[in-house]
Amino acid sequence: MTDAPWFRPAVTILAAFGAMMSLAAGMTLVERKVSAFIQERHGPNRVGPFGLLQPLADLIKFVFKEELAPDRANPLLFLLAPALACLPAMATFAALPFGFLDGKPMVVANLDVGVLYVLAVGSLGVYGIILGGWASNNKYSLLGGLRASAQMVSYEISLVLSLVSVIAVSGSLNLSEIVLAQDQRWNVLVQPVAALVFLVTMFAETNRHPFDFAECEPELVGGFHTEYSGMRFALFFLGEYIAMVVMSGFMAVLFFGGCDVPFLAIAATPWWAGALAMVVKMGFFLLLYVWVRWTLPRFRYDQLMYLGWRVLLPLSLANLAVTGVVLALDRQGAAQ
Amino acid sequence: MERAAPSPGLLQPGQREIELDVRTQDVEINMGPQHPSTHGVLRVLIRADGEIVTAAQSHLGYLHRCAEKIGENVDWLQYLPYTDRYDYLAAMNNNLGYSLAVEKLLGIEVPPRGQYLRTLIVELNRIASHLIAFGTYGLDIGAFTPFFYAFRERELLLDIFEKICGARLTYSFIRPGGVFNDAPPGWLQHVEDFCRQFEKKWPEYWDLLVENKIFIERTANVGIIPRDLAIAWGCTGPMLRGSGVDWDLRRDQPYLVYDRLEFKVITGVGYRGTVGDCFDRNYVRMLEMVESLKMVRQCLDQMPEGEVSHPDVGLIIRPAPGEAYVGIENPRGELGHYVVSDGSKIARRVRVRAPSFCNLSLVEHIMPGTMLADAVAIIGATDIVIGETDR
Amino acid sequence: MLAEYAPLLAWLVLVMAFVGGLLALTAWIGRARPAPGKAETYECGMQPMGDARGRFSVHYYLVAVLFILFDVEALFLVLWALRARELGMSGLIEVGLFLAVLAVGWLHIWRRGGLEWDR
């Protein structure tokens, strides 16, 4: 049976699904535990040992909750929006390589256009937020949705441009090949500016603090999810956490060598060590998300736009220009 | 609500080229009464053009409890618990303001130990109140954690208050004639321990929030109240001093033992922006905590022995006919009590000048032209307590 | 090549089934006790004033237009980046010209106030 051609993809899909759900569910717990640690509280500690079963308890609670929809909301879009916010993030997870087994990448879909796939599908998440905001027919929700979409598209550009530099260095759009190209030297050493831009934009792209303008409870109460309750609210939440997981994984793959263990060739690394290295790297950035959220104040909306359009955009463009010049000179040097 | 259609090719003042021929609507947003950032049940009706506030109007009265009218219907002393409830974050100060007014009518002097205890506990209460102001302001700006730190230290203060009077929020401890009881054994030592602890924590707050780059960006040069405007609208307290006006009733019209204590009056200096911006108001509160701590230390050092209450003041008070006004420096500004007696055991009139109310009146006038998020920053920097504005 | 997309399809079906299943599950066993107050739009405890179907500030729209402009640019750059080494100096000059045109456009937008949020 293990020789069947469908065997490995099937196992990979199940493993990836389990990894995604446990990472996202774990993140909800980690967020609450770490914030409690930062704020000198205990955090959830009633359900299971150290509150470890809290995500499960939350899920059960959400399933049993009544789902409210305002009379004046658009019922179809109101129902679809949470799914639309959640699905793109889940879909992009399929492109993340977690290591190499028998010389083949451990990934659901080893796409040749992996980078473009993640960018294109990941950006669809904004639809869920703006449709949710609009369909609620609530002014706070609408403002939250508009803010979120304006913010996500603004930062998308810097995100793509910082990736273009990485693509130029790696010469491939395939995420597994980008990992392999970093066997000797992680991209963060070659492209520190791009890594910095990516770090900032990944906070903005996932609508996380200090860029969480979609929610922004001091002004907009709950932002785009003001009217949402029960499982629909939970799906927005889940979508945000999975997007964080994907972005952290993306960061690890593109700039920090993915499954590469330092000072060890990828080919010589056992598959479990590679996967562990990948998860550790993702964990670092996931913790960074949480740490930043509970430490910093929030930007104002216009400051966010200035940062995106006036700082990050020219910075990533300049970085790209420098990268291009270096690559071209490199080529000339090689030719002579 | 809809704007007049601009004639093509002609730019209105303040209008940009890209907006020609595009008609948009302003949106009216209720902020409050049930809103995370209005510090209670304040309702601010905001009209916004996208992100920019074009008009704002505050609506009050959601927490109106007829405090002043009750004052005309209960005994002089029975009114004391009602004073706890207007600025519930600084109930000691409210007790003091009312007690001083009644004492002025009675023409009595509180024994020195009573005076010092009052000063001590009022300053501790000021620290507790400013801690909340600081913590919730962080919350308004989007920083969650300082809020918890502020409450952690406030908890120590509440324990101290609980030890001396049994209550944690509404104390009724300072009353006409003195204070309810002397400090229990070891209480003064407890206060000293708090001082030592707070001294170590305060710089953390400063580094964590006040010097934070994002916090400065959000508050500096936002909601500027020029000096003249602050005076014209009757602002008091940190709101007035934030605009650079050097006025503090504790120094300029000393009551209790403030003339025997050494302290600085903190005024806004435009530490990171312009004088009178939201940053300065928060800055004044932060530094006032340090000054209050100094005063607490001095009170502890100078604390005399003896009685804490005037022996002639019983449960039933019958002041001679007359009127009195006493204003004291509350954490939020000048709290004035105007009391009229007709010689009976019930006041003829009790009038309260609530600092939050006067400070709030200015807010809707500085909001237009700012961003939505600034509106929150401005309300937060005003540090209102709705119990006080509505009474 | 295309075989790589088969597991992706399976994955998409799986996550869609998961999300749809969750929504269906909660619609099935979640209790519903409708009440007029619950169905009202939240507006901080006030009766809702108007609805959220007006014409909104043009700023948001402007950002969307700028996004399309620059995102298409980024896509063109991806093609160059893939072969940046091989294209060498000539490719660099061409893409440099392309970038310069865009940079001028970006400066133009800035000068005309397209990036201003408060006037």
What per-residue confidence (pLDDT) applies to C30?
A: 75
Q: Which residues pair with B336 in a beta bridge?
A: B327, B353
Integer Cα distance of B10 and B20 in angstroms = 8
Integer Cα distance of B376 and B23 in angstroms = 27
Mean pLDDT of B202-231: 88
User: Using the beta-carbon criterion (under 8 Å), do A314 and C106 form an inter-chain contact?
Assistant: yes
User: Using the beta-carbon criterion (under 8 Å), do C81 and A9 form an inter-chain contact?
Assistant: no
Binned at pLDDT 50, 70 and 90, residue B7 comes out as very low
Sequence-distant (6+) residues with CB within 8 A of B32 are: B38, B41, B42, B43, B44, B59, C44, C45
Contact C115, A303 (CB under 8 A): no
Query: If you ran DSSP here, which 8-state letter would residue B4 be given?
Result: P
- A142-170 pLDDT, tens digit per residue, is 888 888 888 888 888 888 888 888 888 88
A38 half-sphere exposure, CB direction, 13 A CA radius: 21
User: Using the beta-carbon criterion (under 8 Å), do A66 and C30 form an inter-chain contact?
Assistant: yes
- B176-190 pLDDT, tens digit per residue, is 888 888 888 889 899
What per-residue confidence (pLDDT) applies to B158?
A: 92
Assess B161–A contact: CB distance below 8 Å, yes or no. Answer: no
Sequence-distant (6+) residues with CB within 8 A of B81 are: B170, B172
User: Using the beta-carbon criterion (under 8 Å), do A298 and B212 form an inter-chain contact?
Assistant: no
Closest Cα in chain C, distance from residue A218 (Å): 12
Q: Which among B268, C6, B125 is positioned nearest to A6, based on CA atoms?
A: C6
Integer Cα distance of C34 and A68 in angstroms = 8
Sequence-distant (6+) residues with CB within 8 A of A262 are: none
Average pLDDT, chain B: 85
Q: Which ipTM value was assigned to this complex?
A: 0.83
Q: Which residues pair with B335 in a beta bridge?
A: B328
Chains B, C: CB contacts within 8 A come to 60
Q: Which residues of A touch B138 (CB under 8 A)?
A: 297
Mean pLDDT of B149-158: 90
Residue B367 amino acid letter: M
- B334-390 pLDDT, tens digit per residue, is 999 999 988 888 888 889 988 888 888 888 888 888 888 888 888 888 888 888 888
In this predicted structure, the answer to whether residue B18 has a pLDDT above a threshold of 60 is no
In this predicted structure, the answer to whether residue A334 has a pLDDT above a threshold of 70 is no
Q: Which among A266, A202, A254, A276 is positioned nearest to A19, based on CA atoms?
A: A276
Mean pLDDT of B74-97: 89
In this predicted structure, the answer to whether residue B49 has a pLDDT above a threshold of 60 is yes
Cα torsion B263, B265, B266, B269: sign: negative
Percent of residues, chain B, with pLDDT higher than 90 = 14
Q: Which residues of A touch B29 (CB under 8 A)?
A: 139-140, 143
Average pLDDT, chain A: 84
What per-residue confidence (pLDDT) applies to C117?
A: 66
What per-residue confidence (pLDDT) applies to B6?
A: 43
In this predicted structure, the answer to whether residue B12 has a pLDDT above a threshold of 70 is no
Winning range, highest mean pLDDT, from A271-275, A286-290, B383-387, C36-40: A286-290
Mean pLDDT of B19-48: 75
A33 half-sphere exposure, CB direction, 13 A CA radius: 16
Contact B188, B300 (CB under 8 A): yes
Nearest CA in chain A to B215: A297
What per-residue confidence (pLDDT) applies to B8?
A: 45
Assess B51–A contact: CB distance below 8 Å, yes or no. Answer: yes
Nearest CA in chain A to B148: A39
Nearest CA in chain A to C75: A160
Which whole-number Å values give the CA distances from A16 to A12, A177, A248, C54, in the listed order?
A: 6, 19, 15, 44
Residue B391 amino acid letter: R
User: Using the beta-carbon criterion (under 8 Å), do B17 and C46 form an inter-chain contact?
Assistant: no
Chain A stretch 182-201, residues whose beta carbon is closer than 8 A to a beta carbon of chain B: none
Task: Specify the DSSP element, H or E, that contains B324.
Answer: strand B322-330
User: Using the beta-carbon criterion (under 8 Å), do A306 and C82 form an inter-chain contact?
Assistant: no
Residues B252-264: b if buried by 16+ CB within 10 A, e if exposed: eeebbbbeebebe
Contact A145, A77 (CB under 8 A): no
What per-residue confidence (pLDDT) applies to B24?
A: 67
The owner of tokens 């024994």 is B111
Instruction: Give the strand pairing for B349-353 and B43-49.
Output: unpaired
Chain A stretch 231-290, residues whose beta carbon is closer than 8 A to a beta carbon of chain B: none
Closest Cα in chain B, distance from residue A295 (Å): 6
Q: Which residues pair with A63 in a beta bridge?
A: none
Nearest CA in chain C to B15: C119
Q: Which residues of C touch A168 (CB under 8 A)?
A: 80-82, 84-85
B346 half-sphere exposure, CB direction, 13 A CA radius: 8
User: Using the beta-carbon criterion (under 8 Å), do A109 and C39 form an inter-chain contact?
Assistant: no
What per-residue confidence (pLDDT) applies to C67?
A: 82
User: Using the beta-carbon criterion (under 8 Å), do C112 and B18 form an inter-chain contact?
Assistant: yes
Binned at pLDDT 50, 70 and 90, residue A296 comes out as confident
User: Using the beta-carbon criterion (under 8 Å), do C8 and A111 form an inter-chain contact?
Assistant: yes
Percent of residues, chain A, with pLDDT higher than 70 = 96
Q: Which residues pair with B49 in a beta bridge?
A: B52
Mean pLDDT of B95-104: 90
Sorted by where each starts, the structural domains of chain C and their CATH numbers stand as: 2-111 (1.20.58.1610)
Complete DSSP assignment for C4-72? GHHHHHHHHHHHHHHHHHHHHHHHHHS-----TTTTSPPSTTSPP-S-S-SPPPHHHHHHHHHHHHHHH
Assess A22–B contact: CB distance below 8 Å, yes or no. Answer: no
Contact A214, A144 (CB under 8 A): yes
What per-residue confidence (pLDDT) applies to B139?
A: 86
Domain boundaries, chain A: 63-331
Integer Cα distance of B335 and A22 in angstroms = 56
Q: Is B335 helix (H, G, I), strand (E, B) or coil?
A: strand
Closest Cα in chain B, distance from residue C2 (Å): 46
Mean pLDDT of A255-279: 83
Mean pLDDT of A10-24: 87
Angle between helices B278-302 and B112-141 (to 10 degrees): 150
Mean pLDDT of B245-257: 88
In terms of pLDDT, which residue wins out, B10 or A134? A134
Helix ranges, chain B (H): 67-71, 80-84, 91-106, 112-141, 145-165, 187-205, 213-219, 227-232, 238-242, 249-252, 278-302, 355-366, 372-382, 386-390
User: Using the beta-carbon criterion (under 8 Å), do B16 and C118 form an inter-chain contact?
Assistant: no
In this predicted structure, the answer to whether residue A336 has a pLDDT above a threshold of 60 is no
Query: If you ran DSSP here, which 8-state letter would residue B258 be given?
Result: G
Percent of residues, chain A, with pLDDT higher than 90 = 5
Smallest Cβ–Cβ distance between B36 and the set A221, A295, A302 belongs to A221
Assess B13–C contact: CB distance below 8 Å, yes or no. Answer: no
In this predicted structure, the answer to whether residue B137 has a pLDDT above a threshold of 70 is yes
Smallest Cβ–Cβ distance between B34 and the set C44, C117, C118 belongs to C44
In this predicted structure, the answer to whether residue A244 has a pLDDT above a threshold of 50 is yes
Chain B stretch 185-224, residues whose beta carbon is closer than 8 A to a beta carbon of chain A: 208-209, 212, 214-215, 217-218
- Chains near B (3 or more Cβ pairs under 8 Å): A, C
Assess A5–B contact: CB distance below 8 Å, yes or no. Answer: no
What per-residue confidence (pLDDT) applies to B4?
A: 45
- A187-205 pLDDT, tens digit per residue, is 888 888 999 999 999 888 8
Integer Cα distance of A271 and A250 in angstroms = 19
Q: Which residues pair with A118 in a beta bridge?
A: none
Q: How far apart are the first and last CA of chain A?
A: 55
Smallest Cβ–Cβ distance between A164 and the set C8, C12, C77 belongs to C77
Interface test with A, best of B151, B376, B378, B379 (most A CBs within 10 A): B376
What per-residue confidence (pLDDT) applies to B14?
A: 55
Interface test with B, best of A219, A225, A307 (most B CBs within 10 A): A219
Q: Which residues of C touch A109 (CB under 8 A)?
A: 4-5, 7-8, 11
Nearest CA in chain B to A297: B143
The owner of tokens 């703006």 is A130
What per-residue confidence (pLDDT) applies to A106?
A: 80
User: Using the beta-carbon criterion (under 8 Å), do A41 and B148 form an inter-chain contact?
Assistant: yes
pTM of the predicted protein model: 0.85
- Chains near A (3 or more Cβ pairs under 8 Å): B, C
Query: If you ran DSSP here, which 8-state letter would residue B275 be given?
Result: T
- A208-218 pLDDT, tens digit per residue, is 878 877 676 67
Smallest Cβ–Cβ distance between B34 and the set C45, C112, C118 belongs to C45
- Chains near C (3 or more Cβ pairs under 8 Å): A, B
Nearest CA in chain C to B21: C58
Complete DSSP assignment for B5-59? PPPTT-PPTT--GGGTT---B-EEEEE-SS-TTSTTT-EEEEEEETTEEEEEEEE
Q: Among A309-318, B17-26, C60-69, whose mean pLDDT is lowest?
A: B17-26
Q: Which residues of A touch C41 (CB under 8 A)?
A: 70-73, 136-138, 227
Digitized pLDDT (tens) for each residue of chain C, 119 residues in all: 567 788 888 888 998 999 899 888 888 887 778 888 777 777 776 777 767 677 776 677 777 878 887 888 888 888 888 887 777 788 888 888 888 888 888 888 888 776 776 54
Integer Cα distance of A170 and A178 in angstroms = 6
User: Using the beta-carbon criterion (under 8 Å), do C74 and A161 form an inter-chain contact?
Assistant: yes
Assess B36–A contact: CB distance below 8 Å, yes or no. Answer: yes
Sorted by where each starts, the structural domains of chain B and their CATH numbers stand as: 67-390 (1.10.645.10)
